[in-house]
């Protein structure tokens, strides 16, 4: 799916009790655990913690400033990890906060970051079966640009 960043964007508005924090060594394990939890609900996969964390140092697509972390009083509540190629690699909202606008705000944050980098579009992939994610992406103005089977029949 793709979001055209030349179109008007919604402002980033975090629900009450939430705050954006920088991705850091201190919250990296909690961020990774949330990504692993997200695979249980929405599919996909995340590498083991060490491989994933090391990619921030060795993979040019990984950029700590493009890993948007949101916390609530209980800890890491939502994360969007984006690649430098204007691609949203992973986005997860903890089940305790789903349906409260956190995903929309997180996407707005990612859209703003890429617009500031003079990107025209932001892309992501989503599983056909992940209906709640697809509805969220459609609500924030993302459109389908290609559909493909993961494992051709």
Q: What is the pTM of this model?
A: 0.91
In a domain, 136, yes or no: no
* Tens-place pLDDT, residues 64-110: 999 999 999 999 999 999 999 999 999 999 999 999 999 999 999 99
Question: Residue 111 contacts by C-beta under 8 Å, 6 or more apart in sequence?
Answer: 3, 5, 9, 122, 140
- Report the distance separating Cα 87 and Cα 129, nearest Å: 20
In a domain, 128, yes or no: no
Give the domain CATH number at 75: 3.40.630.30
DSSP labels, 28-68: HHHHHHHHHHHHHHH------HHHHHHHHHH-TTEEEEEEE
In a domain, 14, yes or no: yes
* Tens-place pLDDT, residues 24-60: 999 999 999 999 998 887 677 889 999 999 999 999 9
- Report the distance separating Cα 99 and Cα 136, nearest Å: 10
Specify the number of domains making up the chain. 1
Token pair recorded at residue 19: 């705050």
């Amino acid at each position: 799916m793709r979001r055209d960043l030349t179109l008007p964007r919604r402002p980033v508005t975090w629900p009450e009790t939430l705050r954006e924090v920088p991705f850091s060594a201190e919250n990296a394990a909690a961020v990774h655990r949330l990504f692993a939890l997200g695979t249980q609900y929405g599919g996909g996969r995340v590498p083991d913690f060490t491989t994933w964390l090391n990619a921030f140092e060795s993979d040019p697509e990984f950029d700590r400033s493009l890993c948007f972390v949101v916390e609530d009083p209980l800890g890491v509540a939502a994360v969007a990890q984006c690649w430098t190629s204007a691609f949203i690699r992973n986005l997860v909202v903890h089940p305790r906060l789903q349906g409260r606008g956190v995903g929309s705000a997180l996407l707005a944050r990612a859209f703003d970051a890429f617009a500031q980098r003079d990107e025209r579009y932001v892309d992501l992939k989503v599983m056909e079966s992940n209906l709640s994610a697809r509805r969220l992406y459609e609500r924030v103005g993302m459109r389908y640009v290609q559909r493909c089977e993961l494992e051709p029949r």
